[in-house]
Structure 1
Amino acid sequence: MLALGVYNTLEILRDREPGIFLGDEEGNEVLLPNKYVPEEFEIGDKIKVFVYLDSHERVVATTLEPFATVKSFAYLKCTSVSPVGAFIDWGLEKDLFVPFKEQASKMRVGSWYLVYVYLDEETNRLVASSKTNSFLDNSLVLLSSYDEVHLIASHPSPQGWNMIVNQKHLGLVYADEIFQKVTPGDELTGYIKKVRPDGKIDLTLQRHGYRSIEPNADLILKELRASGGFIDLNDKSNPDDIKEVFQLSKKSFKKAIGTLYKARKITIEKDGIRLID
Structure 2
Amino acid sequence: MIEIGKNQILKIKNFANHGAYLYADGDIENTVLLPKLEVPSGKEVGDEISVFVYKDSSDRIISTTKKPYIEIGKLALLRVASKTKIGAFMDMGLERDVLLPFSEMVGQVGEGKSYLVRLYVDKSGRLAVSMNIRQVLETKSNYKENDSVMGTIYSIHPNHGLFVAVDEKYDSLVPKDEAQGIYEIGEVIQGRVSQVNKDGRLVLSLKERAYLNIGEDSEIILDLLEDNDGVLNIGDKSSPEEIKEITGMTKSAFKKAVGQLYKERSIKIQPKKIEL
Q: TM-score, normalization: structure 2?
A: 0.60
Distance in 1 (CA, whole Å) between partners of 2:87 and 2:33 is 28
In structure 1, C-alpha distance between the alignment counterparts of 2:183 and 2:205, rounded to whole Å: 13
* Aligned-pair CA distance for 1:175: 9.1
- Name the structure 1 match of 2:171: 170
Q: C-alpha offsets along residues 174-231 of structure 1, whole Å, 9 cap, x if unaligned?
A: 79989xx9875466787644221365412368999xxx9xxxx9xx9xxxxxxxxx9x
| TM-score for the superposition, normalised by structure 1 | 0.60
Task: Give the conservation status (yes or no) of the 8 Å contact 1:115–1:131.
Answer: no
Shift in CA distance, 177/59, structure 1 to aligned 2, threshold 3 Å: same
Alpha-carbon displacement from aligned partner over 1:40-73 (angstroms, at most 9, x marks no partner): 2221332221111111222211122222222313
What stretches of structure 1 of length at least 5 have no aligned partner? 221-229, 231-236, 243-249, 255-277
Equivalent residue number for residue 119 of structure 1: 120
CA contact (8 A) 2:161 2:174 kept: yes
Alpha-carbon spacing, 1:79–1:35, altered in 2? closer, same or farther (3 Å):
farther
| Corresponding residue number in structure 2 for 1:81 | 84
Please give the per-residue CA displacement for 1:65-92, whole angstroms capped at 9, x wherever unaligned.
222222313232141413x433222221
The equivalent residue for 1:268 is: none
- Cα separation, 2, equivalents of 1:121 and 1:157: 27
Post-superposition Cα deviations, 1:99-141, rounded to whole Å, max 9, x if no partner, equal 2222224555x242424233236333211123344x3456x53
**Structure 2 residue 62 is matched with structure 1 residue 60:** yes
- Aligned partners of 1:131 and 1:185: how far apart in 2? 12
RMSD between aligned alpha carbons? 5.0
Match of 1:10 in 2: 10
Matches within 5 A, 1:174-193: 185=186, 192-193=193-194
Cα separation, 2, equivalents of 1:77 and 1:63: 23
Q: After the TM superposition, which residues 35-184 of structure 1 pair with which residues of structure 2 at under 5 Å, given as runs?
A: 35-38=37-40, 40-43=41-44, 44-71=46-73, 72-82=75-85, 84-105=86-107, 107=109, 110-120=111-121, 122-133=123-134, 135-137=135-137, 141=140, 143-145=142-144, 151-154=151-154, 161-173=162-174
Query: Which residue does the alignment assign to 2:197?
Result: 196
Identical counterparts, % of pairs: 26
Aligned to 1:27: 27
**Structure-2 separation of matches of 1:192 and 1:22:** 47
Secondary structure, aligned partner of 1:47:
strand
Paired residues for 1:260-271 under 5 Å: none
- Equivalent pairs counted in the alignment come to 240
